[in-house]
């Protein structure tokens, strides 16, 4: 049983890594769609979301099979459950990328973002994608040290997000309320994406090491 | 084993029902704090959030014990996993009530909401609380028909949320950008709370009947 268990767990980890890669790609394209008002990229993210949902179902089915056939206990059990939670967060990251793409499509051909805030979103997009890629790396390399870098990147995201709000709240915001509403929601999508990436990385560290690093912090707006 | 399993599952369901009641109470108080600019109610929600987090941990531990000791398979296994997911959604509902309470505290003694939108939040709060109470009822009564009413209430929430956005986007919005940002985020908190309540109700129906009703729809902004 131990060998079968470890083989199956290895496959589950591979599938989680692929999901990381899919949601990184989705956020990369969605951010380009947003910044370049590129409708076809937006459409691609929107139609690809189903694949992410399917990958999540596949991960869950694999985890269920593992639980049903191997009936793991103690740390092994927690490991499988951590994988189920990670798959859920990854699907949610895909949904958030989808929301970004839909915002780009909704305003097309007009750009969603006033020029003043474009550099923020370019940077938040870069960090979001990096977070998902790092989570993938942590899963594939089982290099737990790499997981630590993830929290630093999330701090950068929180700083950017806070700064974005000070710009919005500034009396000199001259782009109107509708645009402020878009920027508010989009900012939140990126921030939540990053929170989920951190949570995935922590669960992955747990899957690899059997220990959960610190608390999984939720966003605190 | 079957009897032990069913006793333990019954206890787990009781604890999920208590969590529903806790998050309903949290959103009820948070909404009053928001509408009445009541600092002490806001503080209460903020300090009580820890209890919701603890209840979620307790549900998870109970589910883990059930998996480890009873090693359920097939429908029984999916039932326990549905309970783990429901506990996660309920904790998230508590977090969303916490965000509402924090918004009330942050702007105190000023009201967060312009008068124009107060009736919307009063109504969204009422529906949110009702959704959580209905989920509790479904768990306690095992009355699956009651679960259906939950989706209707969620449709009402979506309608209110959409209408709120048309008010925000209207050129006559005269309450400034900072206030629009608050209203945007708060609207989203209520809408997400309702989405999670629907997801909990569906999982509960699954726990009771062994069948998942329809798809668990995610929000689509």
Mutate to test the interface with B, among A57, A177, A180, A192 (most CBs of B within 10 A): A177
3-state class (DSSP) for residue B221: coil
Contact A64 B77 (CB under 8 A): yes
Tell which of B46, B75, B180 to mutate to test the A interface (max A CBs under 10 Å): B180
On the question of pLDDT at B102 being above 70, the answer is: yes
Strongest mean pLDDT among A22-36, A62-76, B198-212: A22-36
Map tokens 């048309």 to a residue: B166
Residues A160-181: tens digit of each pLDDT: 999 999 999 887 899 999 999 9
**How do the domains of chain B map onto residue ranges?**
2-209
* Calpha distance A125→A137 (Å, rounded): 18
Residue B151 has pLDDT above 50, yes or no: yes
- Residues B119-147 have pLDDT tens digits of 999 999 999 999 999 999 988 887 777 77
Count CB neighbours of A147 within 10 A.
Answer: 24
CA A26 to chain centre: 9
Residue B211 main-chain phi, psi, to 5 deg: -125, 140
Query: Which of B99, B219, B187, B181 is CA-nearest to residue A117?
Result: B181
Distance from CA of B147 to the nearest CA of A (A): 23
Token pair for A77: 């059990």
Q: Which of A182, A124, A115, A119 is nearest to A155 (CA)?
A: A124
pLDDT given for residue B221 in this prediction: 35
Please indicate whether residue A127 or residue B172 has the higher confidence score (pLDDT): A127
> Given an 8 Å threshold on Cβ–Cβ distance, is A77 in contact with B67?
yes
Chain A to chain B Cβ contacts (< 8 Å): 66
What angle do helix axes A176-209 and A2-36 make, rounded to 10 degrees? 160
Distances (CA, A) of A2 to A6, A66, B54: 6, 11, 33
Q: Which of B73, B99, B102, B181 to mutate to test the interface with A (most CBs of A within 10 A)?
A: B181
What's the gap between Cα A169 and its chain centre?
27
Rounded to whole angstroms, the Cα distance separating A70 from B175 reads 60
B82 vs A212, residue with greater confidence: B82
pLDDT for the residue numbered A132: 95
Residue of B nearest to A188 (CA): B185
Name every chain A residue with its beta carbon within 8 A of the beta carbon of B85. 88
Query: Which residue in B has a C-alpha nearest to residue A88's C-alpha?
Result: B85
- Rounded to the nearest 10°, the torsion over CA B45, B48, B51, B52 is 0
| Residue whose token pair is 């969303």 | B96
Question: How far is CA A81 from each of CA A177, B23, B67, rounded to the nearest angstrom?
Answer: 43, 24, 10
| Euclidean distance between CA atoms A183 and A204, whole angstroms | 32
Q: How confident is the model at residue B165 (pLDDT cuts 50, 70, 90)?
A: very high
Kindly report whether the peptide bond that precedes residue B150 is cis, defined as omega within 30 degrees of 0.
no
d(CA A60, CA A5): 15
CATH fourth-level superfamily of A2-209: Phosphate transport system protein phou homolog 2; domain 2 (1.20.58.220)
Terminal Cα-to-Cα distance of chain A (whole angstroms): 46
Averaged pLDDT score across all residues of chain A: 90
User: Could you give the 3-state DSSP secondary structure of residue B112?
Assistant: coil
> Among residues B93, B102, B126, which one has the least CA distance to residue B33?
B102
Structural contact between residues B30 and B104, judged by C-beta atoms closer than 8 angstroms? yes
Assess whether pLDDT exceeds 80 at residue A208: no
Q: Is A74 exposed, middle or buried (0-12, 13-18, 19+ CB in 10 A)?
A: exposed
Residue found by looking up tokens 């009947």 in the block: B209
Picking from A57-61, A87-91, A134-138, which range would have the lowest pLDDT averaged per residue? A134-138
The predicted model scores a pTM of: 0.93
Measured between CA atoms, the residue of chain A closest to residue B88 is A85
- In the numeric block, the tokens 């973002």 are attached to A113
pLDDT (0 to 100) of residue A213: 64
Query: Which among A140, A130, A143 is positioned nearest to A18, based on CA atoms?
Result: A140
At CB < 8 Å, which residues of chain A contact B? 64, 67-68, 71, 73-74, 77-78, 81, 84-85, 88, 95, 99, 102, 165, 168-169, 173, 177-178, 180-181, 184-185, 188, 218, 220-221
pLDDT for residue B220 is more than 60: no
- Burial (CB count within 10 angstroms: exposed 0-12, middle 13-18, buried 19+), residue A134: buried
The answer to whether residues B198 and B131 touch, using CB atoms and an 8 Å cutoff, is yes
Q: A106, A78, A169: which is closest to B181 by C-alpha?
A: A169
DSSP annotation of A174 reads: -
| ipTM of the complex in this document | 0.91
């Amino acid at each position: 049983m131990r060998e079968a268990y470890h083989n199956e767990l290895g496959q589950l980890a591979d599938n989680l890594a692929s999901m990381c890669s899919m949601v990184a790609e989705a956020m990369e394209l969605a951010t380009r769609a947003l910044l370049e008002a590129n409708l076809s990229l937006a459409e691609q993210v929107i139609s690809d979301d189903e694949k992410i949902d399917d990958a999540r179902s596949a991960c869950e089915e694999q985890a269920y099979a593992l639980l049903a056939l191997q009936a793991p206990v103690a740390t092994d059990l927690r490991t499988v459950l951590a994988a189920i939670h990670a798959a859920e967060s990854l699907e949610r990251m895909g949904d958030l990328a989808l929301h970004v793409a839909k915002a780009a499509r909704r305003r097309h051909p007009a750009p969603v973002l006033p020029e003043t805030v474009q550099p923020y979103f370019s940077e938040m997009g870069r960090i979001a994608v990096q977070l998902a890629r790092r989570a993938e790396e942590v899963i594939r390399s089982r290099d737990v040290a790499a997981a630590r870098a993830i929290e630093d990147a999330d701090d950068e995201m929180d700083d950017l997000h806070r700064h974005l709000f000070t710009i919005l709240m500034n009396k000199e915001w001259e782009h109107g309320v509708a645009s402020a509403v878009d920027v508010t929601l989009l900012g939140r999508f990126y921030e939540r994406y990053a929170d989920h990436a951190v949570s995935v990385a922590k669960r992955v560290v747990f899957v690899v090491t059997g220990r959960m690093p610190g608390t999984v912090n939720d966003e605190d707006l």
